[in-house]
Amino acid sequence: MTDRTKKKMVLYGTSGQALYVYEEITQADRGYEVVAFMDLGSEDGFEQHTQLPLISLETWKRDYVDTSDLLLCPGTPSIRRKVAEEFSALGARFAQHSDGDREEPPWKAIEIGVGTYVGPNTMLGNCVKIGEHTQLMINISIGHDVTIGDYVTIAPGAIVSGYVEIEDDVFVGAGAIISNGTPDKPIVIGRGSMLTAGTVVIRSVPPQSRILGVPGRPL
C-alpha cells in the first residue's frame, strides 16, 4: 500500500547500487516512497529482493510518467548521461534526494541540481554547487567553495577539500582525497576523468585522465 503523503519515485536500475539507494531512501522515511524499479529491456514483473514492481518502459510511459519522479542509479557517469537524455526526451520528471531531504541553512549557499542524489553522512561545506544527475554516496566530505558538475559520481569515503572544481562526467573512487586549492588557483578535475580508489590528488588533473596512487599520477 502506497503512502499518499509522500511523492512517488521510480528507480532506474536493478544493480546493487540501485538496491542501496532504495534501502537508504526507505530508511530515511522522508519525502519519497519508491514504488517501482525499471531497467532497459526489463519486462513487467517483480524485483527479486524487494518484491516491488519491475516495470517495462511501456508501463512506465502508461502508468508512471505523470505520477512519479525518476531517479537514475547507474554509477557510471556516461551511462547515466545517456539514460537521462533519453528519458528527458520522453518527458520524465526527475527526482532529487538528499539524505532524507535535509534542510541546510540559507547562509551555507548550497545548490543541488535536479536528478542528483546525496547519500547519508555526507557533509557539505559552505558555498557548494552540485550539478544535475550527480551521485554523492555515503560518508563523503565536501569542503567549502566547491563546484561539482553534472553526471559526476563520488564513491563512499571520498574527501573533497576546499576550492575544488570537479567538471562533468568525473568518477571519484572510494576513499580518494582531493587536496585544497586556493581562491585564485582552485584544483580542477577535468571533464571525464577517473580518480581510482584511494588516490590522493594534490594538483589539477587534465580532462579524460586516469589517476592512481599517492600522490596521484596518470595511468
Catalytic sites, residue numbers: 144
Give the number of other Cβ atoms within 10 Å of residue 12's Cβ: 23
Using CA atoms, how far residue 169 sits from 2, 5, 59, 63, in Å, is 35, 35, 30, 31
CA atoms within 13 Å, Cβ hemisphere of 25: 26
Is 13 marked within a binding site?
no
Distance between CA atoms of residues 215 and 143, nearest Å: 20
Examine residue 120 and say whether the peptide bond preceding it is cis (omega within 30 degrees of 0): no
Cα 85 to its chain centre, rounded Å, is 16
Q: Summarize the annotated binding site for substrate as residue ranges.
A: 75
Q: Summarize the annotated binding site as residue ranges.
A: 75
